[in-house]
Structure formats: structure tokens, C-alpha cells
Amino acid sequence: MKMTLILSSLLLLSACNADKLLDLSVPTRTPIQNSNPANCDKWDSGKTINITENTTIPKGCAYDRVTFTLSKSNITFDCNGAELNGLGKTERNEFYRRYKVSEVPRNTAFTISGSEDNFLENVTVKNCNILFYINGFNISFGLKQSTNDDLKMGRNIEALENSLRTRSPKNIRIENNKIIKSHKAGIFIQRYVTDLIANKNTIDRAADMGMYLESGTQRITISHSTFSKNGDSTYNIEERKRKPRVRKREAIAVDSSAYNTIRNNKFINNSGGAIFMYKNCYERYEEAQQLPRYQGSNFNLIENNTFSDEKKGVWIGSRQSRDLNNFKCGDPVIKTKDSEKYYEDFAKNNRVINNIFDNTEKAVIVEDDNNTISNNRFKNTERKDIIIGTTGEVTDVHTVDGTIVRDNVFSSELGVWLRFNPTGSIFSGNTPPVSVVESSK
């Protein structure tokens, strides 16, 4: 009997190894909805469900590989604690292990979409447990081809973008959801969406960003939420594989997005950092679907948050000093060095106020002008509490100006690094008082 058990175990182990060598994923389970209570809606695995009225899922229901679309105003969708699983499995595949075609992760749990011909407002999705989708939420605004053409050509941009924001989805609420192990983003907010509220959510171990705020978005409020361990990998849709990231991503990407409030959240051990603000350099501009970014990540408020165990807490102008040659950018180059290319980043007039930074490597980095860092408390910082200035590659064409550093409590007497001679910095009321430290490395 003992020999039989050993032989069976060896055969099982060999089969598992063979699966890995053949690049097969673990078996998909029977759809969980097959064992739902009788009062649950009969939403089959692989289906897209169009929600047109207020909906509450009965207690105790669960669904595999179902997508919900909401494109009608004045609707509340309450999951009531239901689990929505984008894979129909109990775990994502390991890195480099391909999904079968029949079991690739669903693109989204919730698609909330308006368009220029369909004004959308007052939509709430709440109390959902979302696992393993590519994106947990995708909030989008469909543009006409003529609008795309005008944006592409830069025609009357200020008036056009202001007009689009008046017609984009409004008053969308994403509340009290847990979004776990997305293959890409937890919540993706597309161009020009305004006045969205994301409140009391948990976004954990998303492969890319926890949240992404796209170009032209404004007045997004992110509050009372937890972002942890996001940004360590990516998912290639064509190859059907997860891969680890060399350059890790952040919990919240603020990409050409302005007038937002990020308040009363917890950021814990995200792979690249917590909040990065930048203006996309019009990446891959030769591709037909790509559009320029015209708005900077300006006038954002980062307030009353807690940052723990982060490599970087808040990075203002996070692409200013980065070689973006491989991004194939359409924006004007501000400096070329050998094969490297640098582009103007825009993240001005932001405020980082009343936050706690605990055990961060670099707590706040400032690489654009007229930003305010005040009333923050820094503890156990590994390198510097605040770094002001951009790197030597672009400092001759972009000198950081006008940073206000006021009433902060630093982790040490040398908590601030003035890097490559920023100008116009103002320091007052800090504890201990700031000593100007290195200026050139």
C-alpha cells in the first residue's frame, strides 16, 4: 500500500510538471453559479449582462466570468456581497504560464459607458467582491470620429475639451467594493469622465495600477480606500500570459488629469509607489487609436492619507527625468542625449497636505513648478522626505521652481534634498528646520 501511494504521488507530480512543460494552465472549475441558491439570477458564465434598472443581487449568489454593462442613467447596482470571478478559477496563472483560449480572464466586471450621443449620470455600483478580471471597472466615454479627428489635429482644443467634459459621464459612484488581483487595473477611468467618486474600496494586488485616471478627466474623488501591493506585473492579452514587471507601477496613476481629490486613503507596499502625477507624452502616436494629451496633472489635492512601506509616496512630474525614447512619443522633445529622449512633463499647482509617510524610501518627489508640501509627518524615511528638482539630464532645460515646503515634521534634520539647483523654494515652520543639503547629485 505504501509503495502504491508513493507511485501515485510521483505520477501526479509528473503530470503537473508535464502540464507546465506543455504550457497548460490548471483546470477551470465548474461555473460557481451552477450551485447558486434558487433565487439567484441565471447569469451564465461568459455572458455580458446589460443592466437597465436598479438591481440588487440576492445574498449568497456568486458568478464566474460574467460582465455587467451599465449605459443608462439613474441606476444603482448592489452586489450585496456577491463574488464575481473573472477566471472561474481559484487563482491566477503563475507568471509565463499561458491561459487556454477557453479560459482567458474576462475583460471587465463592470463597464460603465456613456457617449456623445448618450449622456450618462447617477450610476452607482457597490458592495461587490471582484476577483481576477483584466480590469475591475472600466468607465468610458465614446467619442465620435469627427471628435477624434479634431483632437488628433489639435483643433480648438480648450473649447472642445471643456465641451466634452460637460457631456461625459457624471456622478458615477464606485463604493465599498473589493477588487482583488486584477490582471491589469482595478479601476480604469477613461478620457473626460468627471465628478466620479470612488469611496471605501479595497484594491489589492492589481498587476498594473490600482486606479488609472486618463487624459482630460477632472474632479475625481478617491476617498477612504485601501491600495496595497499593486503594480508588480502585467498581462499580455495576445500571449495570454502574466509577466513580472521590470519597472514597477504605482497604486494611482494621475495621467493628464486635474482638479482631483485623493483623501483619507491608505497606501501600503505598492510595487512602484503610491501616487504618480504626469502628462503622457502622446505615446505610440502613430497608432490610429492614440490621441494627444493636452491637460497637465495640475491642481490635484493629496490630503490626509497614510503611506506605509512605499518606495515612493507621491511623485509630482514622475516622467520629467525619464528617458522615454522607447515610448515613441508624439510630443516635442526637450532634450536628446545619445539615444535618449526627454519630454516636458506637466504637474503644477498640486498640494500634498496633512499626510503621514511611514517607512518610505522617498516620500515626496517634486519635478515641476508651484507645488505645495505642507503639514505632513515623515517617519522612518530611508532616503529623503522631500526631493525637489529634476535630474541632471534635463535640468538645463527644466529647472523646478516655486515649491512651498511649510509646517512639516521631518524624519531628520536633513530631510530635504535640493537636487540640481531648483529655484524659488520657500521653507517655513518645519520641524526640525530645513537644512539645505546636496544640490548636485
How far apart are alpha carbons 337 and 325 in whole angstroms?
10
Please check whether residue 275 is in contact with residue 250, taking contact to mean a CB–CB distance below 8 angstroms.
Answer: yes
Q: Are strands 178-180 and 384-388 parallel, antiparallel or unpaired?
A: unpaired
pLDDT at 440 over 70: no
pLDDT at 434 over 90: no
- pLDDT value at position 288? 87
Assigned domain for 394 exists: yes
Percent of the chain at pLDDT exceeding 90: 87
HSE-up of 409 (CA within 13 Å, CB side)?
Answer: 9
Percent of the chain at pLDDT exceeding 70: 92
- pLDDT value at position 237? 95
Residue 404 belongs to domain spanning:
27-428
Greatest pairwise CA separation for the chain in angstroms: 81
pLDDT at 21 over 90: no
pLDDT at 140 over 70: yes
Assigned domain for 2 exists: no
pLDDT tens per residue across span 299-324: 999 999 999 999 999 999 999 999 99
- pLDDT value at position 436? 58
Q: Band of the pLDDT at 435, cuts 50, 70, 90?
A: low
Mean pLDDT score of the chain: 92
pLDDT at 8 over 60: no
Question: Phi, psi at residue 16, to the nearest 5°?
Answer: -60, -45
- pLDDT value at position 391? 86
Assigned domain for 17 exists: no
In total, the chain counts a number of residues equal to 441
Assigned domain for 9 exists: no
How far apart are alpha carbons 203 and 206 in whole angstroms?
7
Q: Are strands 170-175 and 197-199 parallel, antiparallel or unpaired?
A: parallel
Q: Band of the pLDDT at 263, cuts 50, 70, 90?
A: very high
Buried-state track 49-67, b at ≥16 Cβ within 10 A, e below 16: eebeeebebeeebbbbbbb
pLDDT tens per residue across span 405-420: 999 999 988 889 999 8
Q: Band of the pLDDT at 117, cuts 50, 70, 90?
A: very high
**Structural domain total, the chain:** 1
pLDDT tens per residue across span 372-408: 999 999 999 999 999 999 987 888 888 999 999 999 9
Which residue has cell 477632472? 218
pLDDT tens per residue across span 232-245: 999 999 999 999 99
The residue-averaged pLDDT of 62-91 equals 97
CA distances from 239 to 98, 99, 107, 122, 275 (A): 7, 9, 15, 38, 29
Assigned domain for 435 exists: no
- pLDDT value at position 10? 38
- pLDDT value at position 413? 86
Q: Band of the pLDDT at 19, cuts 50, 70, 90?
A: very low
Please check whether residue 379 is in contact with residue 411, taking contact to mean a CB–CB distance below 8 angstroms.
Answer: yes
Assigned domain for 1 exists: no
pLDDT at 16 over 50: no
CA distances from 377 to 151, 164, 331 (A): 42, 39, 37
Please check whether residue 305 is in contact with residue 265, taking contact to mean a CB–CB distance below 8 angstroms.
Answer: yes
Assigned domain for 441 exists: no
pLDDT at 6 over 60: no
How far apart are alpha carbons 130 and 361 in whole angstroms?
31
Buried-state track 380-389, b at ≥16 Cβ within 10 A, e below 16: ebeebbbbbb
pLDDT at 98 over 50: yes
Assigned domain for 19 exists: no
CATH code, domain carrying 242: 2.160.20
